[in-house]
Amino acid sequence: MTHLGQLLRQDVLRAMRPLLAMAVATAIAHVAILTTMNEAVARLTDADAVSRLLLMFVAANMLYSLFQVQYMRMASKRIERAIAELRNRLVTRVCAAEMLDVNTIGHARVTEALGSEFQTISQAVPTIVVGSHCLAVVLLASLYVVTFSVETFCLLVLIAGLQIVITWRAGRKMDDGVGDAHDSTIELADRVRGLMAGFREAKINPVRARRIQEDIAATAHKVMKQRAAANVRYARDYTTAESMYYISVGAVIFLLPAIATVRLDTITMAANAISFIVYPLHILMASLPTYLNAENAARTVLNVDGKLNIAALKPPAEAWANFRSLSLEKLGFRHSMEAGSFSVGPLDLTVRQGEIVFVTGGNGSGKSTMMHMLLGLYPASRGHIRVDGRTVDADTVASYRQLFSVIFSDNHLEREIIGVPAVDEPFADELLELLEMSDKVRIENGAFSTVALSGGQRKRLALVAALLERKPILVLDEWAADQSPQFRETFYRRILPWIQAQGTTVIAVSHDDKYFDVADQLIQVTNGRIVTLEASAVSLAQMS
Ligand SMILES: Nc1ncnc2c1ncn2[C@@H]1O[C@H](COP(=O)(O)OP(=O)(O)OP(=O)(O)O)[C@@H](O)[C@H]1O
């Protein structure tokens, strides 16, 4: 089955009967136009019959238009609804998937799958609907031909067989080219995204800008060559297919009388029928590129969908509303890279409720990896996480993650406070006050009045949003790095103790050794291993 067929199977085939009935009625009305015309050709001398057939011809035309509009409306609606449902389902699966799966697939591919790939499939809907009707007309009209000339039918089967072989070959050859071009287009989109992400740097450094332009131009050139090659191949096969149409009409006129005894009106009717069949065949061939683009888009969507971890779709088993202690026991994880690997662990650590824990260590020592392991975002290759003695496993990890609110160093902030079902506005105002942001930002309808602020100010709003989640554990990844020295002092000496006094546990990556004495536990990560330090000992050592 085609990728498109696989993708739309469950949703479009569901409750298919009314659609099928409509498709058959449309095709019958369409073929009735041909049969009335041919009947009239056979009875040209019978004026009464011709007038009756004229009425039938007009009625068939009207019915055909009526049914066709209805069929296309029904089919388009159903397919569009199926596409919307598929997209929603994929979004749900992406959200529920494990982070490593999404990273392995690649953010560009996931973005394309959810965005432009569904758009490509959607754009192909009219083609698919018209194509399915054309196919039905070809089949019905061919069956009609048997009723007046078996020889023409055999000729038709022969020519249509050749036609199908050519179309299939063209489709297969073109599919390779379109597939390659499709993959290169995803690469191109990724490069353009890179340009926008590093736009400022490119404005400053012309060498960098030129290199990005060259890379984009090279990928665009590759896309252009692949698409052009596919189109040239298609043009060749299209021309051959078109010649086949004329050959088929010619064969009826020149060949049929030579191989069988046929009447003149039979030849006229056969030529008529073939011309009638040729048009839908022509449409089918012309819609091949659109169909193949949709087919490749469906391949990407299925590919992304297939790589997502289905087990992760299980709803959280139960909320871990609170905890007294959380332990990492011989926890390990390994990053695999092209050039070797980096292992973190075995890690042993116990964090008690209400503690402040600082994590420090050199660049690349494994702090972020350890935080991702602690948050259940990286699966353990060995060891366990236990909460109050209960082991976190694949079934409970989603609920376990709900213990945390987190601000990563590259945190993404929205104006809407979307992580909280109902914003406690008086508490939000208190937090804005605490973070010294109340003169700049208000809370309006559960959203910040603005996020058009400096980097450090946006981080403060991120902290407000995280605290509004009222989770038992707050995880911060170098939160204070972009705060001024004065505000850092406020953060470590006033805000962190305030958060702790609320009963919230804080685990923070920090390099601010001046404030290490605030921590109940200070751990240093060195080469993927934990070295526990005495907080007071470190700060005393720093002071001396
Ligand atoms: N996505 C990844 N894929 C492969 N290897 C990675 C990945 N992220 C990190 N690593 C490897 O793991 C090591 C630890 O990285 P990690 O980000 O945990 O360090 P870190 O202590 O947080 O560093 P920094 O202070 O610079 O942010 C790195 O040296 C790198 O080799």
Tens digits of residue pLDDT in 133-145: 888 888 888 888 8
The complex scores an ipTM of 0.95
Q: What are phi and psi of 351, to 5 degrees?
A: -115, 125
Task: For ligand 1, say whether the CB of 342 is within 6 Å of any of its atoms.
Answer: yes
Cross-strand bridge partners of residue 390: 387
Task: For ligand 1, say whether the CB of 528 is within 6 Å of any of its atoms.
Answer: no
Residue 38 tokens read as 């041919």
408-416, Cβ contacts within 8 angstroms, sequence gap of 24 or more: 408/477, 409/368, 409/477, 409/478, 409/479, 409/481, 411/458, 411/459, 411/462, 413/451, 413/458, 413/461, 413/462, 413/465, 414/451, 415/447, 415/448, 415/450, 415/451, 416/446, 416/447
**Residue at a domain's end among 260, 291, 313:** 313
pLDDT at 94: 86
Residue 16, domain member (yes or no)? yes
Whole-number Å distance, alpha carbon 413 to ligand 1 midpoint, is: 23
Range 59-86 average pLDDT = 85
Shortest-distance atom of ligand 1 to CA 336? 4
Whole-number Å distance, alpha carbon 366 to ligand 1 midpoint, is: 6
Residue 183, domain member (yes or no)? yes
User: Does one domain contain both 267 and 387?
Assistant: no
Residue 322 has pLDDT above 50, yes or no: yes
Domain of 148, CATH number, reads 1.20.1560.10
Range 55-84 average pLDDT = 87
Task: For ligand 1, say whether the CB of 3 is within 6 Å of any of its atoms.
Answer: no
User: Does one domain contain both 147 and 215?
Assistant: yes
Whole-number Å distance, alpha carbon 368 to ligand 1 midpoint, is: 7
pLDDT at 55: 94
pLDDT for 377-391, tens place per residue? 888 889 999 998 889
User: Does one domain contain both 237 and 93?
Assistant: yes
From 102, 363, 369, give the residue whose CB has the most ligand 1 atoms within 8 Å, as the site to mutate.
369
User: Does one domain contain both 252 and 361?
Assistant: no
Shortest-distance atom of ligand 1 to CA 361? 21
Residue 428 has pLDDT above 50, yes or no: yes
User: Does one domain contain both 134 and 245?
Assistant: yes
pLDDT level of residue 544 (50, 70, 90 thresholds): very low
Residue 474 has pLDDT above 90, yes or no: yes
Structural domain count of the chain:
2
Residue 430, domain member (yes or no)? no
**Residue at a domain's end among 313, 342, 369:** 313
**For the chain, first and last CA: distance in Å?**
74
User: Does one domain contain both 336 and 301?
Assistant: no
**What is the rounded CA–CA span in Å between residue 275 and residue 249?**
7
Residue 253, domain member (yes or no)? yes
Instruction: Judge residue 444's burial from the number of C-beta atoms within 10 Å of its C-beta, 0-12 exposed, 13-18 middle, 19 or more buried.
Output: exposed
Shortest-distance atom of ligand 1 to CA 103? 1
Residue 427 has pLDDT above 60, yes or no: yes
pLDDT for 98-123, tens place per residue? 888 888 888 878 888 888 888 888 88
Tell me the pLDDT of the chain averaged across its residues. 84
User: Does one domain contain both 330 and 278?
Assistant: no
User: Does one domain contain both 244 and 385?
Assistant: no
pLDDT at 512: 92
Domain of 481, CATH number, reads 3.40.50.300
User: Does one domain contain both 305 and 348?
Assistant: no
pLDDT at 537: 47
Shortest-distance atom of ligand 1 to CA 525? 21
**Residue at a domain's end among 289, 313, 337:** 313
pLDDT at 315: 52
What domain range is 493 assigned to? Answer: 325-403+471-543
Range 400-427 average pLDDT = 86
From 98, 360, 368, 525, give the residue whose CB has the most ligand 1 atoms within 8 Å, as the site to mutate.
368
**How many angstroms separate the Cα of 104 from the Cα of each of 98, 100, 101, 308, 461?**
10, 6, 5, 10, 31
- Chain-centroid distance of CA 341 in Å reads 29
Residue 324 has pLDDT above 60, yes or no: yes
User: Does one domain contain both 17 and 65?
Assistant: yes
CB 260 within 8 A of CB 151: yes
Task: For ligand 1, say whether the CB of 365 is within 6 Å of any of its atoms.
Answer: yes
Whole-number Å distance, alpha carbon 182 to ligand 1 midpoint, is: 32
pLDDT at 312: 47
Residue 89 has pLDDT above 50, yes or no: yes
